[in-house]
Amino acid sequence: MKRDQLFFKTAVCCFALAALIHLLGYITNYFYFFGWLMWIPAIVLTVAAVLRILKDGYIKSPYVPRKKIFYSASFVIAIVTMCYVIFNVIFNYLALEHGGGEYKDGVYYLINLGERVKEISEDEYTKLLLAEYRLFTGHILFLYSLTVLYFKMKVLEHEPV
């Protein structure tokens, strides 16, 4: 039980930090490195959840009523995050429809599949970088929301009904 609570609290803290890093992607891409670092705890927590699922033999706990799960904040956060991630993917793929940005020798280029398409302004380049940043950090949010939900169900198993 204590291990489940520790994993749950860790997943909640990591989700909050990943959400902050993602939201900063609407302003700046200075935290790009930290976005990549957030994959490490995401993978560790996901592996811990998968190992726990394999050990227990079930994902949805038979010991916790569905109503208790559906009304938990973790479930609501997971659903809202899933909807946001779908919106985020569509929105940023539309922004990156013609390719990404590249900066070389003081000139900004639009590149598509490794080939330079045309010169672009610094503002367009910044928008493309921010779209890439938000695209990859949005996936981390969804992974964290699933681990938060799973470990919340494990914590609920040990609470009185």
Q: Three-state DSSP class for 161?
A: coil
Q: Output the pTM of the full model.
A: 0.83
Please indicate whether residue 18 or residue 101 has the higher confidence score (pLDDT).
18
CA nearest to 134, candidates 61, 67, 52, 35: 35
Residues 6+ apart with CB under 8 A from 137: 18, 21, 22, 25, 35, 38
Query: What is the predicted pLDDT for the residue at 67?
Result: 82
Q: What is the percent of the chain with per-residue pLDDT over 90, rounded to a whole number?
A: 39
Domain boundaries, the chain: 2-157
pLDDT digits (tens, 9 = 90+) for 24-61: 989 988 888 898 899 999 999 999 999 998 988 887 77
